[in-house]
Structure 1
């Protein structure tokens, strides 16, 4: 690890927790106890859960939707459901609030129009940018993890060693299943995620949630298995996955949507940029000015070396829609680079284009 990683490991910036040989509920319980204060702060500062989603869940329509989502995801992923119950019990948080937090994007499309407008719910996906390159001398997945500013300071790095033979690292948001951001496992599968703005009319009511799918992806044995897990036939909405097969040094970008729609692209030597709009899958989506601006700016910049890639991810020249976000609404929480050649995951806290930015380097063989 780099010397400056000590700031991360001391918990000054990103807390790290390692849990070994625990069943799902016990692992969730341990996470909840360790981060109970962080989870409560997250719920207090979240702009939608308590002000909007909880009241909606108490209406007849909202209650039925939550019941449908609960039945689907509990039946599809009983272990991860137990994990979430453990987080709630360990932290003392309301299980309903954590469930709504984890399924918020499967609920937003069904909010009454007047409520959504009054609360300024943004159905666009405006979070995260990725650059993918796969050639003999440079095989990397580089990712900006963007989020609402209320999320800042509410994340941790989880190193889990599970009893059934898989272990993983996952960047995890307080109160949520690992991970809706990025991670890698002991089978040599790494991934990052991009939200995509599937139109509300395309969303299937009561289907499988994206947080449950990405939790499942942390246990994928190889690319084929990862693709199978991603292609869940009962998805409520859609997502974009950037998959790295660490051992084979192959990268794939996968776009999914409800109703069993998906497409994947194997990345080659040409750098590939993905923000938060579908680029290949033919679906109805919400227009996203931020993504269009980021795509345009990225296309203007060279991306032929790691330094150039980091310069793109650190770019703020478009003041209205920058690639590297610094508020007031959205911010880049962390930048991560998965490098198959050096077999490392490197986290950058701060603008990755600046040499002074704190870094944490973790071996992909450390799981």
Structure 2
């Protein structure tokens, strides 16, 4: 599959590699330095040992796109490597942002997500619809050159995932451990809600992440926060709407960077109505705080798209522009994807 992805999107992947200034000016010089070769080798070896088939898929992206091997490797371990070469303040300047609002009540079961990133990443994403050798089908919104998907996805077992970056301080990070992209890719093969949680627990993650696990068949949503050394917290979402930005919310005893962008978004979301699907879209589209809006329009950070997963309708809808305007570009039926996997 990796070769097919690389070949199909080769131009997009190579353009991203050429235009990514953080990659060119920071990541590559660091990775190419003789003294950091043992670190890069350790990162690669540990992830290859844990996920050999996903590693082969990554090598397929390299071969299919004809992109430089080191550049694809560094791109897929972007945040892990950034933690080694930057102080805590500058990590905030170079990473991505996202927002989620989640609820499971008697009348409403929704997961709403803004996919935010540096403005320069705009135009370097794509949707992948694939069938794996084990019969599982998935649809994933992916960043060019990276394993699917560190953004959002769902599979034919009725499981969907959204993700948010979190920012532990450098002392909390093990850069040689498992990269977030490899765990995100592994989740696409989850067979159940419990299996997805188990896959997260089994990964000795490098720096931390927030994975939202959504099971449309059992009508369950969990916000899972992880950190290095197998630290995991699972918060099952109920009738009280739950907003997550880019800070740890429920994993205890973790030192993290205090991010005014995240705290401001959360304060605003907490006071907004969340009684209907339209309310959730209004939360994602809110820009009242001009300095730290939930819906981002640049100049630095940009909401590339928004997604709404309706567990009762079993649909995933992607919105272009401000989701309050309800301009839907794609609607996917999770039931149809399940039926296709049985053919």
Deviation at 1:123?
6.3
Please state whether the residue corresponding to 1:319 is helix, strand or coil. coil
Superposed, 1:65-84 pairs within 5 Å as: 65-84=39-58
Superposed, 1:245-264 pairs within 5 Å as: 245-264=215-234
Paired with 1:201 and 1:60, the residues of 2 have a C-alpha distance of 24
Deviation at 1:61?
3.3
Paired with 1:136 and 1:312, the residues of 2 have a C-alpha distance of 21
Paired with 1:108 and 1:155, the residues of 2 have a C-alpha distance of 21
Paired with 1:146 and 1:182, the residues of 2 have a C-alpha distance of 12
Q: 2:34 aligns to what?
A: 60
Of 163, 183, 204, the residue aligned with 1:193 is 163
Paired with 2:329 and 2:264, the residues of 1 have a C-alpha distance of 28
Q: 2:341 aligns to what?
A: none
Q: Is the 8 A contact 2:5 2:64 kept in 1?
A: yes
Q: How large is the RMSD of aligned CA atoms in angstroms?
A: 1.5
The CA deviation string for residues 28-72 of structure 1, in whole angstroms up to 9 with x for no partner, is: 111111111100111122121121111111223321111010000
Please state whether the residue corresponding to 1:122 is helix, strand or coil. helix
Q: 2:303 aligns to what?
A: 332
Paired with 2:298 and 2:94, the residues of 1 have a C-alpha distance of 17
Give the TM-score taking structure 1 as reference length: 0.89
Superposed, 1:104-119 pairs within 5 Å as: 104-111=78-85
Q: 2:118 aligns to what?
A: 148
Paired with 2:233 and 2:153, the residues of 1 have a C-alpha distance of 22
Please state whether the residue corresponding to 2:202 is helix, strand or coil. coil
Q: Is the 8 A contact 1:168 1:184 kept in 2?
A: yes
Superposed, 1:139-178 pairs within 5 Å as: 139-178=109-148
Give the TM-score taking structure 2 as reference length: 0.95
The CA deviation string for residues 201-249 of structure 1, in whole angstroms up to 9 with x for no partner, is: 1101310100000000000011111011111342111110111111000
Distance 1:112 1:253, change over 3 A: closer
**Tell me, which stretches of 5 or more residues in structure 1 are unaligned?**
1-26
Q: 1:49 aligns to what?
A: 23
Of 237, 261, 270, the residue aligned with 1:299 is 270
Tell me if 1:180 matches 2:150: yes
The CA deviation string for residues 252-306 of structure 1, in whole angstroms up to 9 with x for no partner, is: 1111000111111111111110000001112001110100000011012111101
Deviation at 1:122?
3.0
Q: Is the 8 A contact 1:126 1:288 kept in 2?
A: no
Paired with 2:336 and 2:93, the residues of 1 have a C-alpha distance of 38
Paired with 2:126 and 2:69, the residues of 1 have a C-alpha distance of 20
| Structure 1 residue ranges (4+ consecutive) displaced by more than 4 angstroms after TM superposition | 123-126
Please state whether the residue corresponding to 2:53 is helix, strand or coil. helix
Number of matched pairs:
336
Q: 2:340 aligns to what?
A: none
Q: 1:135 aligns to what?
A: 105
Please state whether the residue corresponding to 2:297 is helix, strand or coil. coil
Q: 1:10 aligns to what?
A: none
Tell me if 1:222 matches 2:196: no
Q: 1:85 aligns to what?
A: 59
**Tell me, which stretches of 5 or more residues in structure 2 are unaligned?**
338-343
The CA deviation string for residues 78-110 of structure 1, in whole angstroms up to 9 with x for no partner, is: 111111111111111011101101101111111
Q: 1:231 aligns to what?
A: 201
